[in-house]
Amino acid sequence: MSHSQATDKLMVELRDLNKWYGEFHVLKNINLEVRQGEKIVICGPSGSGKSTMIRCINHLEEHQKGDIIVNDIPLNEDIKNIEAIRKEVGMVFQHFNLFPHLTVLENCVLAPIWVKKMPRKEAEARAMELLERVKIPDQALKYPGQLSGGQQQRVAIARSLCMNPDVMLFDEPTSALDPEMIKEVLDVMIELANEGMTMLCVTHEMGFAKTVADRVIFMDGGQIVEENEPHEFFNNPQHERTQLFLSQILAH
Amino acid sequence: MKYEIQPTLPPPSSMIGVVGWLRKNLFNGPVNSIATIVVGYFLISFLVPTIQWIFIDSDWVGTSRDACTSGGACWVFISNRLDQFLYGFYPEAEHWRPQLAFIILMGSIAWLVMPQTPRKGLVATLLLVVYPIIAYFLLYGNAFGLNQVETHLWGGLTLTLVLAVVGIVASLPLGILLALGRQSDMPIVKSVCVTFIEIWRGVPLITVLFMASVMLPLFFPEGMSFDKLLRALIGITLFQSAYMAEVIRGGLQAIPKGQYEAADALGLGYWQKMILIIMPQALKLMIPGIVNTFIALFKDTSLVLIIGLFDVLAIGQAANQDPDWIGYSTESYLFVALLFWVFCFSMSRYSQQLEKKLHTGHGNR
Ligand SMILES: Nc1ncnc2c1ncn2[C@@H]1O[C@H](COP(=O)(O)OP(=O)(O)OP(=O)(O)O)[C@@H](O)[C@H]1O
Ligand SMILES: [Mg+2]
């Protein structure tokens, strides 16, 4: 179990977050505080609102009620704030979402150059450094379509890191991968966690949760049902629904 | 057990040679054989006299219809009027101007089409930004010591190309803007774009041209004349941009949502997202549709003859009325058709080549 690297600074705050899709109440009074350096793992059954919740944090989804504050910036209609938050929040998707018409390197330098106005040379140097860290510097000039799923996901992680985010969001980063590729992606994520990144991670990789998470959050029906540090969460789940969920996923 | 080394044998004779090919492709089975014979019969009975008429029994040199004595096509008619077919009533002493404009255009296009040439981006930008200015002054004049040539003198292939090139160059960006507007979250922008697109798509181009030439002047103050060619250009461009917008919308819809989300999550602004991520992928998918629209536009330019502009087809029709050359309209229509076909076919081939190139470039998707 990792020693918590969390500081006292609040990085992400969700206060009474509510969201509806039309009539459908997807997120119900979500309250969550994530401190700098903290690693949160979010799990729960399909359709429980996990993706929706973390996608609200960088405004890929709009919330209707409640407050979201990222690194002291309130997320509201002000496009300036949305842009500012997106610069500080990196996101890794289930299906990688690399840009297929650009090489791996171009994928990585695009946002630093256009959003941060970083000189190309500097952006490329930084991108190569990060591709080195995710162990695929030799693929820099290939196109995403020429890489394996595991490699693509590592590129996606490097691409997000190129923006030097303060927070990383992961939405089931390994669930579209073949089993033999899951480990290479998890290794990169564990390394990132050990370096002190603030992470919110939707995943059902319970090994990962046990190794790096400071807290595990269980969601069901659009609510946070249970929240605990990993040892307690897995060994002593309080809520009946958590117990059922854990017995189902651990049965595999 | 022991295996013998097998000798390499030639394929059976039924597979090789002309006979093999014929048997495999044209005469494999009774239905196919009958079809081959029937189609072959019609082809031969149509093609032989046509070829004879066009090439063998035809007259190519001369200065008047007296030269046409062989009973086949009278190409003398075309060659005598070639200048008109190409330049309309553009003054003969100034023919070098459309020629030069044409050569620059074709030169730059060839530069872009050829696979090995460097600096394609620069050439494309020059072609889109600088060339229209050069072409305008070359054709219209009234500057740099060039005589003014009024647009009502422009005609023939020159005019057809002016209409097509301006229409193509202007309708693509306009179509992109309309398509983006149609997808917009802003209700006013969206409804303006939808209304615009649906109105233009709902009327025939002929009506548009009539309105441009008859109605538009009513909205302008007395005495202010507004060039007829310019009016036609505006009509054609707006009309085609509505079609272009729909083609582009189709391409945009084919881009997975994840691409938009990844661009958003990285903090790219709307225009950065569209220009850097979405459009390059969408345009690739849209090439066949865009080129189809270009081809349709190219052919539609011939409709301007109804508002009294002399494009290459109108020149052909005018030539048919010439009392000295009565009876040779087949030749002029064939010639005009050939001109249109050459341009449209080239566009179609180029789009196929481009598509192939873009598809092999980047692995998946
Ligand atoms: N765009 C949408 N419009 C309407 N309903 C939606 C939309 N997106 C998601 N939902 C619904 O919201 C609920 C929560 O979806 P969400 O994707 O957040 O679940 P999840 O916990 O991430 O599930 P999974 O494990 O399957 O990814 C689901 O019932 C889903 O059907
Ligand atoms: Mg999900």
Residues 6 or more apart in contact with residue B312 via CB below 8 angstroms: B85, B155, B156, B157, B159, B160, B302, B336, B339, B340
Q: Which residue has the tokens 């117990």?
A: A243
DSSP string, B77-122: HHHHTHHHHHHBT--GGGTHHHHHHHHHHHHHHHHHHSSS-S-HHH
Chain A residues touching residue B365 (CB < 8 angstroms): 100, 145
B325 φ/ψ angles, rounded to the nearest 5 degrees? -130, 25
Q: Looking at the predicted structure, is the pLDDT value of residue B65 above 80?
A: no
- Please, which pLDDT band fits residue B14 given cuts at 50, 70 and 90? low
Over residues A127-144, mean pLDDT: 92
Q: Which two tokens stand for residue A53?
A: 């919740």
Given the CA of residue A94, which atom of ligand 1 is nearest to it?
Answer: 27
Going by alpha carbons, the residue nearest to atom 29 of ligand 1 is: A47
Tell whether ligand 1 has an atom less than 6 A from the beta carbon of residue A55.
Answer: no
**Pairwise CA distance, residues B149 & B264, whole Å:** 52
CA max distance for chain A:
55
Q: Looking at the predicted structure, is the pLDDT value of residue B260 above 90?
A: yes
Residues 6 or more apart in contact with residue A237 via CB below 8 angstroms: A218, A226, A228, A243, A246
Asked if B262 lies within 8 A of A87 by C-beta distance, the reply is: no
Tell whether ligand 1 has an atom less than 6 A from the beta carbon of residue A47.
Answer: yes
The fraction of chain A above a pLDDT of 70, given in percent, is: 98
Q: Which two tokens stand for residue B321?
A: 């009325």
Residue of B211 and B68 predicted with greater confidence: B211
Asked if A114 lies within 8 A of B259 by C-beta distance, the reply is: no
Listed range (A4-13, A83-92, B103-112) with the worst mean pLDDT? A4-13
Asked if B267 lies within 8 A of A98 by C-beta distance, the reply is: no
Over residues A123-131, mean pLDDT: 94
Over residues B314-322, mean pLDDT: 81
> How many angstroms does the Cα of residue A41 sit away from the middle of ligand 1?
18
Count of CB contacts below 8 A, A vs B? 73
Q: Tell me the whole-structure pTM to 2 decimals.
A: 0.82
Distance from CA of A209 to the nearest CA of B (A): 24
pLDDT at position B265 is 94
Q: How many residues are listed for chain B in this entry?
A: 365
Residue-wise pLDDT tens digits, A182-236: 999 999 999 999 999 999 999 999 899 998 999 999 999 999 999 999 999 998 8
Distance from CA of A32 to the nearest CA of B (A): 21
Residue-wise pLDDT tens digits, B179-202: 999 988 889 999 999 999 999 888
Burial letters for A196-217: b for 16+ Cβ neighbours within 10 Å, e otherwise? ebbbbbbbbbbebbbbbbbbbb
Residue-wise pLDDT tens digits, A33-77: 999 999 999 999 999 999 999 999 999 999 999 999 999 999 988
Distance from CA of B112 to the nearest CA of A (A): 20
From the CA of A44, the nearest ligand is: 1
pLDDT at position B364 is 44
**Pairwise CA distance, residues B264 & B253, whole Å:** 17
Tell whether ligand 1 has an atom less than 6 A from the beta carbon of residue A119.
Answer: no
- Please, which pLDDT band fits residue B222 given cuts at 50, 70 and 90? low
CA B168 to chain centre: 9
Q: Looking at the predicted structure, is the pLDDT value of residue B170 above 60?
A: yes
pLDDT at position A252 is 61
Instruction: Name the residue of chain A whose CA is nearest to B279's CA.
Output: A101
Residue A86 is nearest to which of B265, B272, B361, comparing CB atoms? B265
Tell whether ligand 1 has an atom less than 6 A from the beta carbon of residue A52.
Answer: yes
pLDDT at position A62 is 92
Instruction: Give the end-to-end CA distance of chain A in Å, rounded to a whole number.
Output: 23
Tell whether ligand 1 has an atom less than 6 A from the beta carbon of residue A203.
Answer: no
Residue of B359 and B323 predicted with greater confidence: B323
Chain B residues touching residue A110 (CB < 8 angstroms): 266, 268, 276
Residue-wise pLDDT tens digits, B118-150: 888 888 888 888 888 888 888 787 778 777 777
Rg (C-alpha) for chain B, rounded Å, is 27
Residue of A32 and B364 predicted with greater confidence: A32
The fraction of chain B above a pLDDT of 90, given in percent, is: 14
Listed range (A11-15, B116-120, B163-167) with the worst mean pLDDT? B116-120
Q: How far is CA B161 from CA A111, B99, B224, B301, in A?
A: 41, 12, 27, 9
Tell whether ligand 1 has an atom less than 6 A from the beta carbon of residue A46.
Answer: yes
Distance from CA of B286 to the nearest CA of A (A): 15
Pair B26, B36: CB distance under 8 Å: yes
Chain A residues touching residue B266 (CB < 8 angstroms): 86, 110-111, 115, 159-160, 163
Pair B225, B150: CB distance under 8 Å: no
pLDDT at position B284 is 83
Pair A81, A74: CB distance under 8 Å: yes
Listed range (A85-99, A209-223, B302-316) with the worst mean pLDDT? B302-316
Over residues B54-66, mean pLDDT: 75
pLDDT at position B271 is 92
Asked if B363 lies within 8 A of A146 by C-beta distance, the reply is: yes
Strand A39-43, strand A198-202: pairing? parallel
pLDDT at position A190 is 93
Pair A54, A198: CB distance under 8 Å: no
